[in-house]
Amino acid sequence: MYRLRYVFQTHPWATNVVAYSTLFAGADLLQQCMLGDKEAGPQGEAEPLSKGVVAGQEALWSRVDFSQTAKVALIGFCFHANFNFYWLRALERGFPGGGARNVGKKVVVDQLVAAPATITAFYTVLSRFSSERFAFSHRPRPRTGHNGSETRP
């Protein structure tokens, strides 16, 4: 346990990158298992993947989209881990200490500045991975040729 703590303290950036990648991938897998592979209906209910667990674990894992999980983990690895590593260090320099007032300031600044930026970045990058739609839009993405000009289907 001491060696693990030593690694965490001596390599905080690498620890942060591994932690964010793992958390993003785990959250995506959990989301797929909880919500299932169907879109929510008008009542907001989706068929959970866990219904297939009774018949065996194969039913659960065969319906998980691992390419989606890899995309989400890549976003956590490339953007969120790095952004939050430096952002939280800057917040700590701006509002040092752990008193209730400083923690409150950090939370407010984080939610007003970083949360909108990171949420926008997450959905924008995730939509760029998908070839079908823009983020925050119901219009299909225009197809572009090799020179960047728009092509017709």
* Domain range list for the chain: 2-37+47-129
Beta strands in the chain (DSSP E): none
Bridge partners of 150? Answer: 144
More confident residue, 99 or 136: 99
Assess contact for 68 and 130: CB atoms under 8 A.
no
Per-chain mean pLDDT for the chain: 78
Assess contact for 142 and 150: CB atoms under 8 A.
yes
Contact residues for 25 (Cβ-Cβ < 8 A; gap 6+)? 69, 70, 72, 73, 76
Residue 61: pLDDT above 70?
no
What is the per-residue burial (b if ≥16 Cβ within 10 Å, else e) of 29-40? beebbeebeeee
User: Residue 32 — very low, low, confident or very high, per pLDDT cuts 50/70/90?
Assistant: confident
Contact residues for 66 (Cβ-Cβ < 8 A; gap 6+)? none
Confidence at residue 8, expressed as pLDDT on a 0 to 100 scale: 82
User: Residue 148 — very low, low, confident or very high, per pLDDT cuts 50/70/90?
Assistant: low
Instruction: Specify the 3-state DSSP secondary structure of 5.
Output: helix
What is the CB neighbour count within 10 angstroms for residue 93?
8
